[in-house]
Structure 1
Amino acid sequence: MAKPDQNQVLRQLPIAVGILAGLLLMANRLLTPALTDSQARSDALGVILSALLILTGLLWQRVQPKPPDAVQLVGEEGFELAPDLPDPIKTELAWASHLLLTNTVTRSVVVWYDGRVLLRRGILGPQAEVKPGAIVQRVLKTQNPVYLVALKLYPGRVEFDYLPENTQGVICQPLGSRGVMILAANAPRSYTQQDETWIAGLADKLDNTLQEMLSLTSES
């Protein structure tokens, strides 16, 4: 379901008032049998003010654009962790995913690391298994994030069958060269540059924890 735009009425109010004022001025002019000089000047001023109101409304439409429509992602809400993970890693994954789901437009989080899924949280997709496709493979190879601002426009969207089917936007954030954090949003073009920077910092911290803890586990 699309989220209503609470500012839509305010953005359209100057346009509506300008049009209404212009129509009233025209009606008054047509119904007046004899115009005086003062009335003609008043009508001219009213037309100018009405035009300014309409122009202001049009400018507001550009300066304050309508936010992208959000949808209700298809799927059940859940929280899945790989059962054999050490408790500190489970805590770190739970903390990081909670921050993402509560502080960004992210509605689904998948963490894939060392060839397996460590976490799925939020609205879960139909597939639990992650098979890295061309986009995720490129992220792993280059260690640079990829932001698909409107997923439906990309042919490569078919590789994200482990996300809700109506996912609107996706960020693939590398966790070093060994993993990737995949975030699904319910609205296109909804992540800001500040969001992307913050997500990158969170991913670096998570990757550092995973490397340290999994190395200790393998040594023991």
Structure 2
Amino acid sequence: MELSLLRSRTFAPLRPVSSPCHVRRPPSRTFFPPQPPPPSQEDSGCSRAVRTRQEWVGDWVRSNDTLVRGLPIFIGGISLLAVLLNRAVSGIAAVSDASSSQSRADILTLALSVTDILAGLVWLSIRPKSISPVLPRGVDCKRVDPDVSSSALHELLWAWDSLMAATCCKSLVVVYGGNCILQIGVAATSPEDGKAVNVDAQKFIQGSLYTSANESKKQSYLANLSLYPGRTELPFLPANTQALILQPIGDKGIAVIGGDTIRGFTNLDQAWIAMIADKLDATLSKS
């Protein structure tokens, strides 16, 4: 019986199992992260209003500098008078109730009032000194080494125009290869003939300013030139030059940049001048 039942059954043929290399994979999709929604008109209007308010407050503080500096004195004085008036009106004895909570609060208030008054006095006594440009005393000068190629001269004049337009630079002297290849801007006046003082390149190279800048290969910034004794090594610059930058140009030269304002060259100006020096070195080394 069992054998007959087994013979009567028909078995379905087995399907061949496909190899893993023929498995169909879904096409890859590029994932794009969700982008933030654009700012609405309300958000832009609020930010604009906050920025306008900050500018208004800054302008008001600048225009009322004395009042703002004396404001702590008024606040401290009014607080001091208020504490004394409250002490007189409340009827609390000055000695017998010295350990009470009211007395401790009055002492703290008096300390804060005195602190405000002292802060106001300090603000009024210490003010930042206003720094304004100084007109250089000298004559206009434009001297170029005749051996400089036309491409290098074009590059040097471009550097001068850029520095004069974007910074406080009023004098520029470029010493390269042991020679002064450019002297432009305001120069010191010669007492003999009233003309611009010539740059003695060899004497300048032997000085401490050139030596230190050439050895360090880094820019030297003299923010207040009047405080440095080395200014005697720069007789070709106006006597009232306020700031000075000594910028090495590769291994063969240096640029002397004189300004008309104390601390007039910003950090951005210094970095930009260093990039200009690299560009000049690439041009002068080929000429």
TM-score by length of 2: 0.56
1:11 to 65, 70, 75: 65
1:157 CA drift (Å) = 1.2
1:207 CA drift (Å) = 0.8
Unaligned runs of 5+ in 2: 1-58, 79-88, 91-111, 190-196
Alignment deviations for residues 15-42 of structure 1 (CA, whole Å, 9 cap, x no partner): 3677789999xxxxxxxxxxx99xxxxx
Residue in 2 that maps onto 1:111: 174
Q: Distance in 2 between matches of 1:82 and 1:157?
A: 24
Work out the number of aligned pairs and report it.
200
Q: Distance in 2 between matches of 1:53 and 1:199?
A: 46
SS at match of 2:154: helix
Q: 1:23 to 1:172 in 2, by over 3 A?
A: same
Q: 1:13 to 1:122 in 2, by over 3 A?
A: farther
Alignment deviations for residues 122-146 of structure 1 (CA, whole Å, 9 cap, x no partner): 2122322233211112212232221
2:235 to 161, 169, 176: 161
Letter in 2 for 1:83: P
Structure showing greater Rg: 2
8 Å Cα contact 2:77-2:117 kept in structure 1: no
8 Å Cα contact 1:163-1:184 kept in structure 2: yes
Greater RCO structure (CA 8 Å; 6+ sep): 1
Q: 1:98 to 1:58 in 2, by over 3 A?
A: farther
Q: 1:142 to 1:22 in 2, by over 3 A?
A: closer
1:115 CA drift (Å) = 1.4
CA RMSD of aligned residues (A): 3.9
Letter in 2 for 1:12: T
1:57 CA drift (Å) = 10
8 Å Cα contact 1:14-1:54 kept in structure 2: no
Q: Distance in 2 between matches of 1:106 and 1:117?
A: 18
SS at match of 1:147: strand
1:140 maps to 2:203: no
SS at match of 1:189: coil
1:167 CA drift (Å) = 0.9
1:71 CA drift (Å) = 1.4
Q: 1:199 to 1:57 in 2, by over 3 A?
A: farther
Residue in 2 that maps onto 1:217: none
Q: 1:9 to 1:57 in 2, by over 3 A?
A: farther
Q: Distance in 2 between matches of 1:11 and 1:61?
A: 13
8 Å Cα contact 1:124-1:164 kept in structure 2: yes
8 Å Cα contact 1:112-1:179 kept in structure 2: yes
2:164 to 82, 101, 104: 101
2:188 to 119, 125, 133: 125
Aligned residues with identical type, % of pairs: 30
Q: 1:9 to 1:210 in 2, by over 3 A?
A: same
What are the residue-to-residue correspondences of 1:17-166 with 2, within 5 Å?
65-126=128-189, 127-130=197-200, 131-132=203-204, 133-166=207-240
Q: 1:162 to 1:10 in 2, by over 3 A?
A: farther
Q: 1:196 to 1:53 in 2, by over 3 A?
A: farther
Q: Distance in 1 between matches of 2:131 and 2:262?
A: 6
Letter in 1 for 2:254: V
SS at match of 1:198: helix
8 Å Cα contact 1:168-1:184 kept in structure 2: yes
Q: Distance in 1 between matches of 2:181 and 2:124?
A: 46
Q: Distance in 2 between matches of 1:15 and 1:59?
A: 5
1:199 maps to 2:199: no
Letter in 2 for 1:100: L
TM-score by length of 1: 0.71
Q: Distance in 2 between matches of 1:120 and 1:203?
A: 16
